[in-house]
Structure 1
Amino acid sequence: MRSRISRRRFLTTAAATGAGAIGGGLAMPYLSRAADRPQVTHGVQSGDVGADGGVVWARADRPSQMMVEVATTESFGNARALPPIAALPESDFTAKMLLENLPAGQDIFYRVRFRDLAHTDIASEPITGRFRTAPADRRDVSFVWGGDVAGQGWGINPDDGGMFTFATMRKHRPDFLLHSGDTVYADGIIAAEVKLPDGKVWKNVVIPEKVKVAETLDEFRAAHKYNFLDDNVRAFNAEVPIFVQWDDHEVTNNWSASKQLPAAYKERDIMLLAARAAHAFHEMYPLRESIAEPGRVYRTLSYGPHLDVFMLDERS
């Protein structure tokens, strides 16, 4: 990483004497290494977009504040800075901000930085994203639809281009992605290699938390973060809003309160697993959260005069 050199001024309180003394009022260089700056770890996302706004999401690598600027031009010439919000350990350093009072049917550009809590003059490099607000007029609306990400052991294979379905969807410039769940396969592992029937070997990117089924909160979080490691996914997320629900693999296949868990699970309380899965799900996606009913998945999203999207809660 390249170090950044800047200068700070200081004043001496008395005349300096002796070898190496520096006169009062001179500038003293110091090094600010890249490691000192917060990092945006998994790109940016937007979601639950309507005619007047939407939610933006990002994650930092440490306790920090998320700072967002929003504009209607890609140059950010008319940018509006919003009050910062916290990204803390209890949310795995994720932060979501609702952008409001935006014009309908408009391309919106946003820029995200994280500011160190202990040193507020140290901030991350900016990450930019965009979305299009819902129209107020009677124009056509397009969306892509899908689900079931990284299931049955098929993860990110760089040799095969990664999750290139997201690149294909991105080329069509849809208004949003309707994600019908199985956002992760928390009940499935990602092995380093999968032998194919023709003798070839499929090679996955692996992380320690995905070589077993998810049981702890951090393992559920890691299942989502695994998908965000893919370049295609991050590029898609930065340009196309997501309307997200979940299905069942966010916990385990065909689960209910009475389900008998497979032997792979040391944690036998499925409702505890479901609660951890729900916690991670809400942290990792840009849903509009309900104040009256925290943790709610079902909601109605109005996207212009022609389209309402009814998101169901399929958690059991």
Structure 2
Amino acid sequence: MSILLDRYALSRRRALATFGGLAATALSIPLLSGRALAQPVFRIYPFQLGVASGDPQPDGFVIWTRLAPEPFEIGHGMPSQPVEVSWEVATDAGFRTMVAKGVAVAMPELGHAVHVEVGGLEAGRDYWYRFVAGRERSLTGRARTTPAPGATVDRVRFAIAGCQQYEQGYYTAHRRLAEDNPDFVFCYGDYIYEGRGNRVWNGPRGPVENVRQHFGGEIYSLDDYRRRYAQYKMDADLQAAHAAAPWFVVWDDHEIDNNWVTDLDQDGVDPKVFNLRRQAAVQAYFENMPLRPSSFPVGTTIQLYRRASFGGLMDLNLLDTRQFRSNQPCGDRFGTCAEIEAVKAEVLGLQQEKWLVDGLSASKARWNVLAQQIMVMDLDRDAGAGSAVNPDSWAGYRTPRNRLLKQIRDRKIANPIVLTGDEHQNYAGELHLDGAHPEGAPIGTEFVVTSISSSGDGVDQREDMAKIQAVNPQLKFNNAQRGYAICDVTPERWTTEFKVLDAITRRDGKLTTRAKLAVEAGNPRLATV
């Protein structure tokens, strides 16, 4: 049986170029209710997009890869058939002690992506994994299971990263993150950007030439999104970060379209039409992320809010601030308006908010973490001249923001920490109900982590932010360079180390620790280490 179908209009010449001379007569075996499994001989390496692991639990994790010998071609260089992929997990990088192995099927309906849930492993230890397709073997990845429930845990050390606009800089920060050897990575979103390829962009100091360009125009279809993920994932530095540790991923806006919420986009497109784009983007997101099958998309929806526990030390609540949110107030422009006080406004939606508050209330962990996308700190962004908010932050949604913070305060949630991205800057601050007039003890602490590459090289502190910090006593630190953060968590102290690069528009950017701030258990006030 031929492994090529007319569905993708792959020519015999393309098939021979991709799979070699055996392509047209490759062996297949019956499987999947009569469907045939292709056993190709690849001419081009099929693991162009690397490997990844994610959503670790005490007994295992998910491992991911996607077969794409020619990621930008129709059908990504693959036949229109299922393809068998073997996988292996070992206790050592040399695979001398194998503890799990099996065979998965890369389906054409899912862009030949593979998501394997590995179970039956020991809690709180490192493992290594790899894939085999035909005669080809993938790179090796490292994963780590979480501690056993209720276990005494002395330390968790993890990284935070996101906002990686491909055109505006190299992924040097990802390579350095990999070298930091974290237990896991929290990616807060904006994994891809949806815009067309551009030679220049309008930076804060005038036109800036991009160091590289997106393939094609703005993305709308499933194939568009697949190619965009492929372009990002072909970056070796990003592959290194995925291979170094398991990731917990959530999305923000650019995985679909800038500043989208529910079925609304920024251009006022008919929601029925926008939902076609959403459905394509949601499928591509699942295909390319190390998510468990429990997050399998249904139409335009995908289950992204979930929880992970690290013994008795830390509970990690991963939130989705896009799918269930009300439209941005004030016409989605910085400023102020009556809509900010809207009583029926939502950020998480009532169902997710109840799930979060119930989980926080039941938690026995030392630290309770809200890992999400948009800033909770309510800053006076007019530097005392007025009252301006960022409408694409919790400050634009006063009712749900205050409701959440009051419940955290009134239920006496132990040591709440909020982890955020989106702003393309580093912030560290304390959370109060009234951000414009913070009084009394803080309710919690927030760390906002800068972008990997979005907004280009950056500066130590923007001039406008120096003025804003001066009139916002709850804001203890701000920086506008690129990089990532390392969080070092013990029963006594939470420490966040902001790592920044002096440049990302060249590959030899120098990494330094810009600041290290800590919170003592039982006291949400920030201190510089």
Q: TM-score range by the shorter chain?
A: 0.7 to 0.9
Q: Is it true that 1:254 corresponds to 2:273 in the alignment?
A: no
* One-letter amino acid matched to 1:40: F
Contact 1:248 1:254 in 2 (8 A): yes
1:276 corresponding residue in structure 2: 280
Contact 1:248 1:315 in 2 (8 A): yes
% identical equivalent positions: 28
How far does residue 68 in structure 1 lie from its aligned partner after superposition? 0.7
1:314 corresponding residue in structure 2: 321
Q: 1:289 to 1:254 in 2, by over 3 A?
A: same
Unpaired runs of at least 5, structure 2: 1-16, 21-39, 69-77, 324-529
Counterpart secondary structure, 1:282: helix
2:62 corresponding residue in structure 1: 55
Q: Is it true that 1:107 corresponds to 2:126 in the alignment?
A: yes
* One-letter amino acid matched to 1:140: R
Q: Following the alignment from structure 2 to structure 1, what is the Cα–Cα distance between the partners of residues 295 and 179?
A: 36
Q: Following the alignment from structure 1 to structure 2, what is the Cα–Cα distance between the partners of residues 311 and 184?
A: 19
* Aligned equivalent of 1:230, options 226, 235, 238: 235
RMSD between aligned residues: 3.0
What are the Cα deviations for residues 25-82 of structure 1, in whole angstroms up to 9, with x where unaligned? xxxxxxxx97447611200000001221101100113342221111111221111452
* One-letter amino acid matched to 1:229: M
* Aligned equivalent of 1:65, options 77, 81, 84: 84
Q: Is it true that 1:94 corresponds to 2:113 in the alignment?
A: yes
Within-5 A mapping of 1:102-141:
102-114=121-133, 122-136=134-148, 137-141=152-156
Q: Is it true that 1:302 corresponds to 2:309 in the alignment?
A: yes
Counterpart secondary structure, 1:49: strand
Instruction: Work out which structure has the larger RCO, using CA pairs closer than 8 Å and 6 or more positions apart in sequence.
Output: 1
TM, length-normalised to structure 1: 0.75
* One-letter amino acid matched to 2:222: L
1:182 corresponding residue in structure 2: 190
How far does residue 223 in structure 1 lie from its aligned partner after superposition? 2.2
Q: Following the alignment from structure 1 to structure 2, what is the Cα–Cα distance between the partners of residues 75 and 133?
A: 19
Greater per-residue helix proportion: 2
Aligned residues: 267
2:173 corresponding residue in structure 1: 165
Q: Is it true that 1:147 corresponds to 2:154 in the alignment?
A: no
Contact 2:214 2:228 in 1 (8 A): no
* One-letter amino acid matched to 2:224: E
1:9 corresponding residue in structure 2: none
Q: Is it true that 1:79 corresponds to 2:98 in the alignment?
A: yes
Q: Following the alignment from structure 2 to structure 1, what is the Cα–Cα distance between the partners of residues 206 and 254?
A: 29
Contact 1:69 1:81 in 2 (8 A): yes
Contact 1:194 1:203 in 2 (8 A): no
Counterpart secondary structure, 2:177: helix
How far does residue 110 in structure 1 lie from its aligned partner after superposition? 0.8
Q: Following the alignment from structure 2 to structure 1, what is the Cα–Cα distance between the partners of residues 43 and 242?
A: 27
